Amino acid sequence: MAQAGGNPRSDGDSQQPSIFKVVLLGSSSVGKSSLALRFLKNDFREILPTLGCAFFTHMMEVDGKALKLELWDTAGQEKYHSVCHLYFRGANAALLVYDIAKKDTFHRAQNWWKELENEFQPEEIVVILVGNKMDLEDSREVTFEEGKTFSESNKLLFMETSAKLNYQVTEAFTAIARELLQREEQHGGPAQQKNPSIDLENSASQKKGKCCLD
Ligand SMILES: Nc1nc2c(ncn2[C@@H]2O[C@H](COP(=O)(O)OP(=O)(O)OP(=O)(O)O)[C@@H](O)[C@H]2O)c(=O)[nH]1
């Protein structure tokens, strides 16, 4: 394993929420930024392709426990592929997003899973496979069963979503948050992060149109 997942961070004060790094991975145009925009702002609009990576933080509460998610929305365009590896270092969770109306994006999500498997021990990262654009039922190329079968055989969480219709978007992020908190509890509470996130100031390319999430 080349790189271990980062432990959730805390400043040592048990009252402070844990911080988890969550990366969004998948082909270009599957709707990663749209899922983030829907989750963070309950909005949906045309967004320009992500350049490099966009970064957001979000406080939330799950089952009475507060936590902070650091969301890293990566660019799906192939030219950014190698950069994405930098961004998933130290991640606690990943959303592997595909477009249910584009079979090749499902295969790409499966390849991302292989890459994560090479980087992380199974217990180091929470992964959810997300079949987005489920509003495009008439053009569906990936069945619900295909997504479910792949997830079950690889012990991933799975959900179909529509950023456009606001269907199961919050649920997908909440499922991740819940699993992260459960794992943290099993491992005896928050610890200092072993592999801190890379320096945002120096290395995160900003997304054109990122302002729409601010
Ligand atoms: N019908 C439908 N369209 C969607 C949905 N989510 C996103 N889109 C559209 O898909 C296109 C791509 O969305 P983005 O969110 O930019 O996709 P991305 O995965 O972030 O793309 P990159 O930044 O290139 O990696 C846009 O035109 C969105 O409006 C959805 O749930 N349903």
Torsion sign (Cα): 41, 42, 43, 49: positive
Say if 200 falls within a structural domain. Answer: no
State the CB neighbour count (10 A cutoff) for residue 211. Answer: 8
Distance CA 172, CA 182 (A): 16
For ligand 1, atom 2, name the residue with the nearest CA: 133
Which ipTM was obtained for this model? 0.99
Give 64's contacts (C-beta < 8 A, 6+ positions apart): none
**Given this model, what pLDDT does residue 10 score?**
57
Sign of CA dihedral 128, 133, 138, 140: negative
Q: What domain range includes position 85?
A: 18-191
Q: Is 96 in the pocket of ligand 1 (CB under 6 A)?
A: no
pLDDT attached to residue 205 = 40
**Ligand 1 binding pocket includes 207 (Cβ within 6 Å):** no
Residue 58 lies in a domain: yes
Q: What mean pLDDT is predicted for residues 49-55? A: 84
> 94 lies in a domain?
yes
pLDDT higher than threshold 70 for residue 211: no
How do 93-99 and 18-26 pair as beta strands?
parallel
The residue nearest atom 6 of ligand 1, judged by CA position, is: 31
* Domain assignment present for 10: no
- Looking up tokens 């989750």 gives 39
Measured distance CA(189)–CA(118) in Å, rounded: 26
Q: What is the CATH number of the domain that holds 62?
A: 3.40.50.300
24/15 Cα distance (integer angstroms) = 28
Summary mean pLDDT of the chain: 84
Q: Domain for residue 50, yes or no?
A: yes
* pLDDT tens readout for residues 70-106: 999 988 888 778 777 778 889 999 999 999 999 999 9
Whether the CB of 49 sits within 6 Å of ligand 1: yes
Please give the number of the atom of ligand 1 that sits closest to the Cα of 165.
Answer: 31
In a domain, 199, yes or no: no
Do the domain assignments include residue 43?
A: yes
For the chain, what is the domain count? 1
Q: How far is CA 154 from the centre of its chain?
A: 17
Specify if 212 maps to a domain: no
What's the 129 CA to ligand 1 centre distance in angstroms?
A: 16
